[in-house]
């Protein structure tokens, strides 16, 4: 039976428990060698058994370990998958949130527009009443005054009018016209977009912020877009820690910008009007300008760019009209730039922001809305310290910058009517400091005559510097006294503005004087 | 006249009141130091006073004190928003005529603002700034002596009105015509009058503050019993000139009142982005000067605060800072549209819930000094008067063109003589281009 069982099963476990007497009776009488032999065999049998058992355990363990590893991998994969899914969902949520925010903003804007329209409507409704009452009190309204502001029966825009600029040949109205400029080679294959000057400036700052994580834009009222709308949307796009309002303190703004720049950051600071830059004069003239020089090149504030609206607008009076470029041009270490149009403003501003010297960027505020061009949407810079020849000519060199160029353009046309065939080389100086002596002197060496015009008062205006340099370098080529056309030497007078600034007539007279000497 | 009588009456009461004001200040300071004391090892009287020249009132302490805040300064108020007196002891000691004049001036200012604002919207004048919501500052003008010198910012036309600047004078300035005292050279609202002791306004902010300190010092030296009143906004208080002014006024003991119209906005920048700490008033204490915070929409609180400040300035020869809390209901100027940065509802709520004109009117009505009939008739008279002045000013010619060159210096300099001649020749040569028909004839 036992044998039969052996045949049927591989392993048979038989529980034997021999008594002590039986074990001694089996072994008793045997030779000690035999007993030893039996013991040895028994030991080797058990050794075999134990090693087999250990191997089996080992294999089991390995199998378990493999399984654990597999499970772990599976778990990881699942976690990853879940995470990815979660991320996607979160992204969706963010998008939805943003959409909601956009929509509510739109709603806000719409309701603001609505309320503005309502006010307008109410005002229109009230107007006849008001006029009636006025007529009742005083039947004759002075008509010539009406010509001044009331022609459109609306207030003058804050940044003023500049009639005729829309037809200026200096303005690039088309895509091809804009890109014909060799200085724009880097964006010649890119798109252009219709922008006015404040939009172009906004675009430049947007690019500066996007391409430089250290860049910040700050100043009085910049967070809501600035009083001239140059910083519109930047706070929303780049965050309030990068585009922010400062307290009302120009010296604070300039000093703060210097500090940021000293740490290697890019500071794009706005002084609300150039007329209000004087509290910052000490910071700019004594600090920013001398930062590198006084430290032997240890430190510099190259990352500082101060933007400020300047120039006449028709109704700015003493403190919203000045052009203080010459004050800063008297300061070694600063750069001073004045753009004439949207394309120029964008490229020059980007260059001014990235230039490794503190730069004052004066924006002729009358051009903010009046000048509209097809501006390249890409990232481009225009050279600082380099003038641009706008029209080539052989009889007379005319130098100007900013909004004055459009007056000069008209004056040249007027003079050409009187003097047919007159050939004028018109130069936009663009950088006041350092200024492009070479371009101007080369031109005067060719023409022999020079006229310079600017809005700032004549005495110690920047034309004085240009005139003396040209006199030094082109003395023998000059065929007529250098003409300086500038505002009269008085504070900027509100009601006399049209008599004060060097207008078309005065500039044309200057051209005639130079030609008929 | 009324102002003079009351000023004299109050001057008599100076010693007792001034003494009363000082303990009130020390009491609150004591209350605060008591709370700090519990942290200290020993009471102040047992500790050693420092002898550093820069902080003579300080004591040595073994406790490292890091202080961020002081007790906020309270806002003094006489009437509630309904014009009801909050405490019978605060009843203003004024005559009916005096009170009604203040109210009428508030109404006139309001009427003038409405018409000139509309005029600018229609392109008749180039610029304007309204006073809406802040008219109660007229109470400060009423507490001054007419010969106290005023240095304004640009939103204080009401003080000039109170002193007797006529509607015609306002309108002439806004129209830059030949009767404008400023000869048409500055933008509208840049008023000034030597006769009324009101220095001409300039647009740069806070520049008038150190000047006011200097003017006050000169007045003190002259022996005149007058002071300087200097107005500014909470935005201007961020300029360096503000800090320079308070410090120099304090160290020179100049009899000047710095009157801050804290209207919550500097163009678009709200007060909470303009400064930290307990408003502008806390700066005054920092510069060691008497300081008052007052409900700037409460005419009588402003009046009382200014009266007390004037006493300290004139009798003790000390500068005083008043912070008048208010709200700019109008846009910053006609170049601004405040709906771009604050909700219309917020503005409407202020207009409705805390209107200084309404508060004053209700107070007058409670006294039986004003009623609906008076209101209606006064308003219509005023409107006619404003419109009449307005139309007359509009009709007037601008100053003669040669006025451009005068007053740069006391006498014309050679360069100006030459430039004047150049312009005359140009105008003669191009009469169609330089139309001077709207300018007065040259004398």
Is the omega angle on the peptide bond into residue A434 within 30 degrees of 0, that is, cis?
yes
Helix, strand or coil for residue A457? strand
Cβ neighbors of B40 (< 8 A, separation 6 or more) are: B47, B61, B62, B63
Backbone angles phi, psi at A212, to 5 degrees: -145, 105
Do residues A363 and A407 both lie within one domain?
Answer: no
Do residues B331 and B381 both lie within one domain?
Answer: yes
Do residues A302 and A446 both lie within one domain?
Answer: no
Helix, strand or coil for residue B78? coil
Question: In A, which residues are within 8 Å of B209 by CB distance?
Answer: none
* Cα gap A228→A222, rounded to integer Å: 9
Catalytic pick among A220, A315, A320, A373: A320
Predicted local confidence at residue A251, as pLDDT: 97
Q: List per-residue pLDDT tens for chain B, 443 residues long.
A: 344 444 444 444 444 444 444 444 444 444 444 444 445 567 888 889 999 989 888 999 999 999 988 899 999 999 999 999 999 999 999 999 999 999 999 999 999 999 999 999 999 999 999 999 999 999 999 999 999 999 999 999 999 999 999 999 999 999 999 999 999 999 999 999 999 999 999 999 999 999 999 999 999 999 999 999 999 999 999 999 999 999 999 999 999 999 999 999 999 999 999 999 999 999 999 999 999 999 999 999 999 999 999 999 999 999 999 999 999 999 999 999 999 999 999 999 999 999 999 999 999 999 999 999 999 999 999 999 999 999 999 999 999 999 999 999 999 999 999 999 999 999 999 999 999 999 999 98
Q: With CB atoms and an 8 Å threshold, state whether B124 touches A115.
A: no
Residue A23, domain member (yes or no): no
Do residues B311 and B417 both lie within one domain?
Answer: no
Residue B81 near residue B118 (C-beta atoms within 8 A): no
Cβ neighbors of A79 (< 8 A, separation 6 or more) are: none
Residue A69, domain member (yes or no): no
User: Which CATH number belongs to the domain containing residue B251 in this structure?
Assistant: 3.40.50.970
CA atoms within 13 A on the CB side of A415: 26
Torsion over CA: B13, B15, B21, B27 (sign): negative
CA-nearest of A478, A462, A460 to A470 is A478
Lookup: tokens for B360: 């004053």
Question: In A, which residues are within 8 Å of B202 by CB distance?
Answer: 318-319
* Cα gap B303→B139, rounded to integer Å: 4
Residue B265, domain member (yes or no): yes
* Cα gap A147→A498, rounded to integer Å: 14
Do residues A423 and A288 both lie within one domain?
Answer: no
With b for 16 or more beta-carbon neighbours within 10 A and e for fewer, the A479-517 pattern comes to eeebbbbbbbbbbbbbbbbebbbbbbbbbbbbbbebbee
The helix-helix angle for A197-211 and A342-354 (nearest 10°) equals: 30
A16–B contact, CB cutoff 8 A: no
Residue A129, domain member (yes or no): no
User: Which CATH number belongs to the domain containing residue A178 in this structure?
Assistant: 3.40.50.970
Predicted local confidence at residue A38, as pLDDT: 85
pLDDT in tens, B249-302: 999 999 999 999 999 999 999 999 999 999 999 999 999 999 999 999 999 999
Write out residues 279-318 of A within 8 Å (CB-CB) of B: 279, 314-318
Do residues B191 and B226 both lie within one domain?
Answer: yes
pLDDT in tens, A297-336: 999 999 999 999 999 999 999 999 999 999 999 999 999 9
DSSP 8-state secondary structure symbol assigned to residue B49: B
Catalytic pick among B118, B348, B418, B422: B118
A121–B contact, CB cutoff 8 A: no
Predicted local confidence at residue A12, as pLDDT: 64
Largest Cα–Cα distance of chain B, in whole Å?
89
Do residues B280 and B426 both lie within one domain?
Answer: no
* Cα gap B41→B46, rounded to integer Å: 10
Residue A106, domain member (yes or no): no
* Cα gap A275→A266, rounded to integer Å: 24
Do residues A370 and A392 both lie within one domain?
Answer: no
Question: In B, which residues are within 8 Å of A227 by CB distance?
Answer: 267, 335-336
Question: In B, which residues are within 8 Å of A152 by CB distance?
Answer: 123
Q: With CB atoms and an 8 Å threshold, state whether A221 touches B239.
A: no
Nearest to A489 among B269, B274, B415 (CB): B415
Residue B400 near residue B440 (C-beta atoms within 8 A): yes
Residue B181, domain member (yes or no): yes
* A343, A376, A409 - which closes a domain: A376
CB atoms within 10 A of CB A371: 28
Question: In A, which residues are within 8 Å of B153 by CB distance?
Answer: none
Size of interface A-B (CB pairs under 8 A): 194
- Residue A211 to chain B, least CA–CA distance (Å): 28
DSSP 8-state secondary structure symbol assigned to residue A244: E
Residue B132, domain member (yes or no): yes
Cα B304 → chain centroid:
15
Lookup: tokens for B338: 């405040």
B197 burial type by CB count under 10 A (0-12 exposed, 13-18 middle, 19+ buried): middle
Residue A22, domain member (yes or no): no
Q: With CB atoms and an 8 Å threshold, state whether B239 touches A249.
A: yes
Question: In B, which residues are within 8 Å of A500 by CB distance?
Answer: 404
- Residue A253 to chain B, least CA–CA distance (Å): 10
CA atoms within 13 A on the CB side of A505: 17
Q: Which domain holds residue A172?
A: 165-376
Distances (CA, A) of B426 to A383, A504, A506, A511, B77: 39, 12, 8, 14, 61
pLDDT in tens, A261-286: 999 999 999 999 999 999 999 999 99
Predicted local confidence at residue A158, as pLDDT: 72
| Mean pLDDT by groups of 10 residues along chain A of 517 residues | 54 72 78 86 90 92 93 92 89 87 85 80 60 43 38 65 83 95 95 97 98 98 96 97 97 98 98 98 98 97 98 95 98 98 98 98 97 97 98 98 97 96 98 98 98 98 98 98 98 97 97 97
Nearest to A248 among B266, B398, B426 (CB): B266
Torsion over CA: B419, B422, B424, B426 (sign): negative
A363–B contact, CB cutoff 8 A: no
Residue B11 near residue B227 (C-beta atoms within 8 A): no
Do residues B100 and B206 both lie within one domain?
Answer: yes
Do residues A335 and A357 both lie within one domain?
Answer: yes
* A376, A407, A434 - which closes a domain: A376
Q: With CB atoms and an 8 Å threshold, state whether B273 touches A247.
A: yes
A240–B contact, CB cutoff 8 A: no
CA-nearest of B406, B256, B239 to B319 is B256
* DSSP, residue by residue, A334-374: -EEE---SHHHHHHHHHHHHHSSS-EEEEEETTHHHH-EEE
Do residues B248 and B289 both lie within one domain?
Answer: yes
Q: With CB atoms and an 8 Å threshold, state whether B423 touches A490.
A: no
Do residues A460 and A417 both lie within one domain?
Answer: yes
Question: How many domains are there within chain A?
Answer: 2
Q: With CB atoms and an 8 Å threshold, state whether B126 touches A315.
A: yes
Question: In B, which residues are within 8 Å of A509 by CB distance?
Answer: 426
Q: Catalytic: B243? A: no
Question: In A, which residues are within 8 Å of B175 by CB distance?
Answer: 145
Residue B211, domain member (yes or no): yes
Do residues B231 and B312 both lie within one domain?
Answer: yes
Write out residues 416-445 of A within 8 Å (CB-CB) of B: none
Question: In B, which residues are within 8 Å of A414 by CB distance?
Answer: none
Residue B411, domain member (yes or no): yes
Residue of chain A with shortest Cα separation from B418:
A488
Residue A462, domain member (yes or no): yes
Do residues A259 and A394 both lie within one domain?
Answer: no
- Residue A153 to chain B, least CA–CA distance (Å): 5
* A318, A348, A376 - which closes a domain: A376
Q: Where are the strands (E) in A380-423, listed by range? A: 388-391, 396-400
Do residues B272 and B327 both lie within one domain?
Answer: yes
The residue whose two tokens read 């360069």 is: B415
Residue among A495, A498, A502, A512 with most chain B CBs within 10 A, to mutate: A495
Q: Catalytic: B71? A: no
* Cα gap B143→B424, rounded to integer Å: 49
Instruction: Give the DSSP H or E segment for A427.
Output: strand A424-428
Residue among A148, A224, A248, A280 with most chain B CBs within 10 A, to mutate: A248
A317 burial type by CB count under 10 A (0-12 exposed, 13-18 middle, 19+ buried): buried
Do residues B406 and B388 both lie within one domain?
Answer: no
- Residue A269 to chain B, least CA–CA distance (Å): 16
Do residues B353 and B312 both lie within one domain?
Answer: yes
Do residues A227 and A333 both lie within one domain?
Answer: yes
Lookup: tokens for A494: 């509100």
Radius of gyration of chain A, Cα coordinates, nearest whole angstrom: 42
Strand partners, B294: B76, B324
Residue B247, domain member (yes or no): yes
* Cα gap B375→A231, rounded to integer Å: 46
**First-to-last C-alpha distance (Å) of chain A:** 146
Do residues A352 and A405 both lie within one domain?
Answer: no
Q: With CB atoms and an 8 Å threshold, state whether A142 touches B395.
A: yes
In A212-329, where does DSSP find H-type helix? 234-238, 250-262, 281-282, 291-294, 325-329
Predicted local confidence at residue A159, as pLDDT: 74
Catalytic pick among B126, B203, B343, B380: B203
Do residues A216 and A170 both lie within one domain?
Answer: yes
Catalytic pick among B149, B156, B332, B389: B332
A155–B contact, CB cutoff 8 A: yes
Do residues A173 and A318 both lie within one domain?
Answer: yes
Predicted local confidence at residue A190, as pLDDT: 95
Do residues A290 and A425 both lie within one domain?
Answer: no
- Residue A282 to chain B, least CA–CA distance (Å): 12
Instruction: Give the DSSP H or E segment for A39.
Output: helix A32-137
Residue A434, domain member (yes or no): yes
Residue A426, domain member (yes or no): yes
CA-nearest of B61, B21, B100 to B290 is B21
Do residues B292 and B438 both lie within one domain?
Answer: no
Q: Catalytic: A392? A: no
Count of residues making up chain B: 443
Residue of chain A with shortest Cα separation from B239:
A249
Do residues B369 and B418 both lie within one domain?
Answer: no
Residue B299 near residue B76 (C-beta atoms within 8 A): no
Nearest to A140 among B238, B395, B413 (CB): B395
A159–B contact, CB cutoff 8 A: no
Q: With CB atoms and an 8 Å threshold, state whether A317 touches B340.
A: no
User: Which CATH number belongs to the domain containing residue A426 in this structure?
Assistant: 3.40.50.920
* Cα gap A261→B93, rounded to integer Å: 59
Question: How many domains are there within chain B?
Answer: 2
Q: With CB atoms and an 8 Å threshold, state whether B335 touches A227.
A: yes
Q: Which domain holds residue B415?
A: 401-443
């Amino acid at each position: 039976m036992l044998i039969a069982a052996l045949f049927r099963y591989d392993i048979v476990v038989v529980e034997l428990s021999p008594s002590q007497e039986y074990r001694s009776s089996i072994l008793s009488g045997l030779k000690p060698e035999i007993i030893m032999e039996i013991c040895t065999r028994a030991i080797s049998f058990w050794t075999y058994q134990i090693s087999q058992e250990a191997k089996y355990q080992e294999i089991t363990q390995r199998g378990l370990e493999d399984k654990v590893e597999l499970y772990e991998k599976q778990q990881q994969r699942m976690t990853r998958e879940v995470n990815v899914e979660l991320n996607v969902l979160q992204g969706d949520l963010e998008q939805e949130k943003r959409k909601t925010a956009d929509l509510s903003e739109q709603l806000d804007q719409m309701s603001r527009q609505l309320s503005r329209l309502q006010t307008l409507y109410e005002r229109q409704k009230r107007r006849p009443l008001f006029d009636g009452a006025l007529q009742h009190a005083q039947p004759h309204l002075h008509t010539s005054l009406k010509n001044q502001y009331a022609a459109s029966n609306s207030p003058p825009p804050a940044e003023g009018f500049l009639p005729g600029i829309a037809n200026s040949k200096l303005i690039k109205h088309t895509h091809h016209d804009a890109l014909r400029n060799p200085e724009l080679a880097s964006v010649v294959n890119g798109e252009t977009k219709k922008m006015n000057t404040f939009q172009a400036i906004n675009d430049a700052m947007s690019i500066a912020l996007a391409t430089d994580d250290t860049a910040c834009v700050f100043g009085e009222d910049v967070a809501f877009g600035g009083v001239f709308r140059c910083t519109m949307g930047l706070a929303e796009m780049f965050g309030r820690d990068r585009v922010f309002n400062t307290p009302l303190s120009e010296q604070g703004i300039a000093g703060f910008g210097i500090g940021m720049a000293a740490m290697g950051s890019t500071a794009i600071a706005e002084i609300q009007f150039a007329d209000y830059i004087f509290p910052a004069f000490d910071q700019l003239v004594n600090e920013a300008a001398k930062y590198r020089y006084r430290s032997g090149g240890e430190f510099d504030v190259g990352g500082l760019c101060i933007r400020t609206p300047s120039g006449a607008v028709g109704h700015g009076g003493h403190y919203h009209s000045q052009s203080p470029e010459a004050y800063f041009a008297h300061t070694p270490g600063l750069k001073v730039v004045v753009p004439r149009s949207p394309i120029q403003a964008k490229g020059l501003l980007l260059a001014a922001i990235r230039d490794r010297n503190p730069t004052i960027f004066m924006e002729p505020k009358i051009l903010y809305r009046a000048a509209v061009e097809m501006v390249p949407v890409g990232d481009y810079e225009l050279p600082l310290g380099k003038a641009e020849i706008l029209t080539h000519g052989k009889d007379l060199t005319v130098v100007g910058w900013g909004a004055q160029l459009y007056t000069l353009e008209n004056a040249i046309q007027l003079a050409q009517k009187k003097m047919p065939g007159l050939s004028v080389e018109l130069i936009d100086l663009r950088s006041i400091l350092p200024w492009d002596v070479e371009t101007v002197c080369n031109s005067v060496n060719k023409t022999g005559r020079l006229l310079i015009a600017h809005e700032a008062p004549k005495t110690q205006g920047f034309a004085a510097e240009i005139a003396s340099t040209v006199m030094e370098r082109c003395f023998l080529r000059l065929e007529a006294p250098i003409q300086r056309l500038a505002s009269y030497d008085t504070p900027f007078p509100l009601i006399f503005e049209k008599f004060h600034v060097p207008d078309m007539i005065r500039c044309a007279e200057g051209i005639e004087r130079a030609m008929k000497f | 006249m009324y102002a003079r009588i009351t000023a004299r009456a109050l001057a008599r009461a100076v010693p007792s009141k001034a003494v009363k004001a000082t303990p009130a200040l020390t009491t609150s300071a004591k209350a605060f130091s008591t709370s700090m004391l519990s942290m200290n090892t020993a009471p102040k009287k047992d500790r050693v006073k420092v002898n550093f020249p820069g902080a003579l009132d300080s004591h040595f302490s073994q406790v490292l004190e890091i202080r961020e805040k002081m007790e906020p300064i309270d806002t003094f108020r006489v009437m509630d928003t309904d014009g009801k007196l909050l405490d019978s002891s605060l009843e203003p000691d004024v005559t009916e005529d005096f009170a009604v004049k203040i109210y009428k001036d508030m109404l006139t200012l309001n009427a003038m603002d409405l018409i000139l604002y509309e005029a600018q919207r229609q392109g008749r004048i180039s610029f304007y700034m309204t006073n809406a919501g802040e008219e109660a500052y007229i109470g400060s003008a009423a507490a001054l002596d007419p010969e106290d010198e005023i240095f304004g910012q640009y939103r204080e036309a009401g003080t000039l009105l109170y002193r007797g600047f006529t509607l015609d004078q306002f309108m002439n300035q806004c129209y830059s015509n030949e009767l404008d005292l400023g000869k048409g050279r500055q933008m509208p609202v840049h008023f000034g009058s030597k006769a009324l002791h009101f220095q001409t306004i300039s647009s740069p902010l806070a520049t008038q503050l150190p000047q006011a300190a200097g003017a006050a010092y000169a007045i003190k030296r002259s022996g005149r019993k007058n002071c300087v009143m200097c107005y500014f906004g909470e935005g201007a208080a961020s300029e360096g000139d503000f800090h320079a002014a308070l410090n120099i006024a304090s160290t020179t003991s100049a009899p000047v009142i710095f009157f801050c119209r804290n209207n919550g906005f500097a163009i678009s920048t709200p007060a909470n982005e303009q400064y930290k700490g307990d408003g502008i008033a806390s700066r005054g204490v920092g510069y060691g000067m008497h300081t008052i915070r007052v409900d700037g929409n409460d005419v009588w609180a402003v009046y009382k605060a200014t009266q007390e400040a004037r006493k300290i300035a004139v009798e003790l020869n000390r500068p005083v800072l008043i912070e008048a809390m208010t709200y700019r209901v109008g846009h910053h100027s006609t170049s601004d549209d405040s709906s771009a940065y604050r909700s219309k509802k917020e503005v409407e709520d202020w207009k409705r819930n805390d209107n200084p004109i309404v508060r004053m009117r209700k107070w007058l009505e409670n006294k039986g000094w004003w009623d609906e009939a008076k209101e209606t008739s006064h308003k219509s008279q005023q409107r006619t008067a404003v419109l009449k002045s307005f139309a007359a000013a509009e009709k007037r010619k601008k100053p003669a063109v040669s006025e451009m060159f005068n007053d740069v210096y006391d006498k014309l300099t050679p360069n100006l003589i030459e430039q004047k001649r150049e312009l005359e020749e140009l105008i003669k040569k191009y009469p169609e281009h330089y139309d001077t028909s709207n300018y007065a004839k040259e004398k």
